[in-house]
Amino acid sequence: MSGVWQATGTPAGLDVGRPGGIVGGGQVPYQPWAEAKYKEYNAALGKDDPATRCLPPGPPRINYIFPIQIVQKPGLIVGLYEYMHVFRVIHTDGRPHPNDPNPTFRGDSVGHWEGDTLVVDVVGFKPGWYDQAGNFYTDALHVVERYTLADANTIAYEATLEDAKAYTRPWKMSFKFKKRPADFELYEYECSENEKDVQHLVGR
């Protein structure tokens, strides 16, 4: 899987459109309080999106924004993300999650192989958003990702998302990654230094 990959298309199972457009709130099985919170976030035109404050998103959102360089070694896979200089470590050496993982934006990831499919279990999240429309998750989020090598240049990605605090049942999203040319390099990305615009963001 080593190389630079980039997601193609809009994730199936979630509309990642901008606030004010057609959004995927009805596709996410929210509990009543969470549905109300989603509508509140969406009505505010994304001003509460953590990304507006230069906070990094977790998976699966981080996977479909910008290119990712994957470095695969025995027992370890590292994802280097162009977006916000984020990196992610997936241990594939059989270790379990920590008993009480320290919450982070990307969570704690452990993986194993099922044939040509990398299965990654992720827990220990800080609350965050899936998109700019206000679809969100809590610190109870549990994600199971499946990266399947469909061919030498395509990874089929599927994520099952479970959040007992916000959802009534698990749900899924999926999309594909395409491999970039061998000479492709990640660009330097900087979130706004000393951000001053966020104080001017208002809802409708």
Residue 147 above 90 pLDDT? Answer: yes
Burial class of 140 by CB neighbour count within 10 A (0 to 12, 13 to 18, 19+): middle
Q: Is pLDDT larger for residue 91 or for residue 192?
A: 91
Composition of the chain by helix, strand, coil, percent to 5: 15, 40, 50
Query: Is the torsion defined by CA of 14, 118, 124, 69 positive or negative?
Result: negative
Q: Is pLDDT larger for residue 73 or for residue 47?
A: 73
Burial class of 19 by CB neighbour count within 10 A (0 to 12, 13 to 18, 19+): buried
Residue 194 above 60 pLDDT? Answer: no
Distance CA 16, CA 151 (A): 26
Token duo for residue 133: 């429309």
pLDDT tens for 49-96 read 888 888 888 888 888 878 999 999 999 999 999 988 889 999 999 999
Residue 17's pLDDT is 45
